C-alpha cells in the first residue's frame, strides 16, 4: 500500500504558500482563501493560529502576527511581521527540480484564479533552474477533469456545502448517485481525488474527479461526522481482481518502491526483488517503469513490457535524430 500521507506535512506545504498569498492579498475574506486552497474555512483558521508561533525568533516582531480581532469579528485576514520570508531563497539543483515537478502537478489540477498564481511561480522557478537538463525531463501526467465539475467541487469544499454526485465505478461498470460532505482535494498517482463523507456508505470515501459525471451543490451545509481520523493512503486503494498491476523485478536502487507503493512480495529472482505492484492504470505503471531508468524490469504483463520497450526505443531514436 502507498506510504500514508501525513496531514501535518500537507499543512506545512499549504502554510508555506499561504503566507506569501496573504501578504499580496491583505484583508482577504477567510472563505476566499479557503476556496483558493481547496480546504474548509476552519482549516484556514487553524493554519493561521499555528502561523502565530512561526518566525525567526521568539519575541514580538520575530513571529508572524495575525490580527485575531479582524479574523474573529470580520472574518478577514491581516498578517504582519512576515517580511523575513521575502529574503532570497537558495535552492540546490535537486530541490529546484522537485519544486518544478510539484508545481507542474499542482497546475495540472488547478482551476480558475489558481492558474495564474501557479503559472507565475512556475515561470520564476523554471527560469532560476534554467540550463539544468533534468528540468526538461520532468513530465507530469494528471488525468483530465471536467472544469465545471472541478469548480463545483472546489466551491462546495471552500464554502462548506454538501454535494450530490453521479459517480462511475469502473470495476462494476455502473454509476451511483450519492450525497457527500467534502473534506479535501488531493492528487495521487496521476489522478485528483475528493475525500468526503459519503452519506450512502456512512463513512469517509475517496472519489476520483475524472469519474464524477455530475456534481451539484445541494445548498445544504456539511455536517460534522464522528469518523476515525486516518491518513489518505490507508484506504485509497482497495485491491481486487480488477486492480491494474504488474510483476516487476527490482534492482537494489528501486527497492524504495516497495515502501512507497502497494506491492505483493513474490521473492527473489537472479538477485533482484520480484514484486507485484498495483497502480492506477497501465499507463501509470508504464510511466513508473520508465522513470526509474533501467532499475525496474517488467516480467508481466507482456503488453506492458512491449509498451515500455517501444517508448524507450522512441526516446532513443529522438536523441539519435
Find residue 309's DSSP bridge partners.
Answer: none
Q: What is the pLDDT of residue 199?
A: 92
Read off the pLDDT of residues 200-243 as tens digits, 9 standing for 90 and up: 988 888 888 888 999 999 999 999 887 665 555 445 555 666 67
- Per-residue b or e along 32-44, where b marks 16 or more CB atoms closer than 10 Å to that residue's CB: bbbbbbbbbbebb
State the DSSP string of 230-244.
Answer: --GGGTS----TTS-
Section 126-134 average pLDDT: 58
* Secondary structure element (H or E) that encloses residue 296, with its range: strand 296-300
Query: 248 pLDDT band (50/70/90 cuts)?
Result: very high
Give the model's pLDDT for residue 143.
65
For residue 193, the model assigns a pLDDT of 86
Whole-number Å distance between alpha carbons of 48 and 315: 47
Looking at the chain, the number of H-run helices and the number of E-run strands are: 11, 13
Residue with cell 461526522: 225
Q: What is the mean pLDDT of residues 73-80?
A: 87
Q: Can you give the pLDDT at residue 62?
A: 64
pLDDT, residue 172, reads 47
Burial class (CB in 10 A: 0-12, 13-18, 19+), 241: exposed
CA distance 267 to 75: 58
Q: For residue 297, what pLDDT is reported?
A: 93
Task: From 233, 182, 195, 226, select the one nearest 40 (Cα to Cα).
Answer: 182
Residue 134 has pLDDT above 50, yes or no: no
Amino acid at each position: 500500500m502507498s506510504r500514508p500521507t501525513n496531514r501535518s506535512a500537507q499543512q506545512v506545504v499549504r502554510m508555506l504558500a499561504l503566507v506569501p498569498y496573504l501578504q499580496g492579498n491583505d484583508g482577504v475574506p477567510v472563505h476566499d482563501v479557503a476556496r483558493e486552497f481547496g480546504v474548509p474555512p476552519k482549516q484556514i483558521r487553524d493554519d493561521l493560529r499555528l502561523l502565530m508561533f512561526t518566525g525567526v525568533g521568539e519575541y514580538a516582531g520575530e513571529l508572524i502576527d495575525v490580527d485575531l480581532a479582524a479574523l474573529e469579528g470580520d472574518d478577514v485576514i491581516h498578517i504582519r511581521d512576515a517580511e523575513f520570508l521575502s529574503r532570497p531563497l537558495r535552492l540546490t539543483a535537486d530541490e529546484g527540480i522537485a519544486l518544478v515537478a510539484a508545481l507542474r502537478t499542482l497546475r495540472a489540477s488547478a482551476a480558475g484564479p489558481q492558474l495564474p498564481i501557479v503559472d507565475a511561480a512556475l515561470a520564476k522557478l523554471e527560469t532560476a533552474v534554467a540550463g539544468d537538463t533534468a528540468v526538461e525531463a520532468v513530465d507530469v501526467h494528471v488525468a483530465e477533469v471536467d472544469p465545471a465539475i472541478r469548480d463545483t467541487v472546489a466551491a462546495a469544499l471552500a464554502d462548506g456545502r454538501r454535494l450530490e454526485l453521479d459517480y462511475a465505478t469502473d470495476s462494476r461498470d455502473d454509476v451511483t448517485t450519492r450525497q457527500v460532505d467534502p473534506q479535501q482535494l488531493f492528487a495521487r498517482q496521476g489522478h485528483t481525488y475528493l475525500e468526503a463523507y459519503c452519506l450512502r456508505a456512512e463513512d469517509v470515501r475517496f472519489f476520483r474527479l475524472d469519474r464524477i459525471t455530475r456534481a451539484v451543490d445541494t445548498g445544504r451545509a456539511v455536517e460534522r461526522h464522528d469518523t476515525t481520523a486516518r491518513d489518505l493512503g490507508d484506504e485509497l486503494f482497495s485491491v481486487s481482481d480488477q486492480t491494474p498491476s504488474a510483476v516487476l523485478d527490482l534492482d537494489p536502487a528501486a527497492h524504495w518502491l516497495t515502501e512507497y507503493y502497494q506491492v505483493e512480495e513474490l521473492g527473489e529472482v537472479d538477485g533482484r526483488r520480484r514484486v507485484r505492484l498495483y497502480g492506477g492504470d497501465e499507463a501509470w505503471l508504464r510511466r513508473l517503469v520508465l522513470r526509474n531508468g533501467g532499475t525496474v524490469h517488467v516480467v508481466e504483463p507482456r503488453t506492458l513490457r512491449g509498451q515500455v520497450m517501444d517508448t524507450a526505443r522512441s526516446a532513443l531514436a529522438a536523441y539519435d535524430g
